[in-house]
Amino acid sequence: MAQDHRYGAFGAPSEWNHQQVVNVEWPPQGIPPMLPENPPVPVQVRVVWEHDGEEWIPGRAVRWLRPVVFVLINDQRHRGAGVWVPLKDVRRT
């Protein structure tokens, strides 16, 4: 039987695997969040998941605008391509 990609582990809907990132911080008001991308910089980013808690995961910083950084992440728990986080939550690798 072919796997139905609408469902995740144990037949649960795949969206059940997604979690909110608690430490998201958007750019200051009045500054567009869609700035030109810079060359990717390999980083470790601190992500605080709504259920799994704090974790440092690999990512690529592509936009930075003090006091926040946009980091591309590849994690099944996150719906988007990346996340805006405070500068203090990003370390170069």
Query: Which tens digit of pLDDT belongs to each residue from 31-44?
Result: 765 666 678 999 99
Res 26: pLDDT = 92
Number of domains forming the structure of the chain: 1
Q: Whole-angstrom Cα distance, residue 62 to residue 72?
A: 7
* Residue range(s) defining the domain that contains residue 42: 19-92
pTM exceeds 0.85, yes or no: no
Q: Whole-angstrom Cα distance, residue 53 to residue 46?
A: 10
For the domain that residue 75 is a member of, what is the CATH number?
Answer: 2.30.30
Examine residue 2 and state whether it is found in any structural domain, yes or no: no
Q: Examine residue 67 and say whether the peptide bond preceding it is cis (omega within 30 degrees of 0).
A: yes
pLDDT-derived band at 27, boundaries 50, 70, 90: confident
Examine residue 51 and state whether it is found in any structural domain, yes or no: yes
Query: Which tens digit of pLDDT belongs to each residue from 29-84?
Result: 877 656 666 789 999 999 999 999 999 999 999 988 889 999 999 999 998 899 99
Examine residue 1 and state whether it is found in any structural domain, yes or no: no
